[in-house]
Amino acid sequence: MPYEPGSSQCRVLIDCKVQVETMLMALSRIEASEPIREQLLQVHQQLEQLHDRHRSDPPRSQPSAELHCA
């Protein structure tokens, strides 16, 4: 069963991380791409940190609030 995020913000963050991972895999087959891959790894880590912060935020008490990331 695929992972289902609890909010639209989580979905965006997850999608961005997946796209960066896809770029990293593709670039691994290209010589001299190490500097770009290092930058992409830093971007991926920043996205993960943002996702962690979003997951740790207390849920909003509004009835229409979306669920937070699991």
Q: What is the mean pLDDT of residues 12-37?
A: 97
45-68 mean pLDDT: 73
Instruction: For residue 33, give the amino acid letter.
Output: S
- 14 Cβ contact partners less than 8 Å away, ≥ 6 residues apart: 3, 5, 51
Lowest model confidence (mean pLDDT) among 14-18, 33-37, 50-54, 64-68: 64-68
The pLDDT mean for the chain works out to 84
5 pLDDT band (50/70/90 cuts)?
A: low
Report pLDDT for 56. Answer: 81
Mean pLDDT across 32-48: 98
Cα-only R_g, the chain: 15
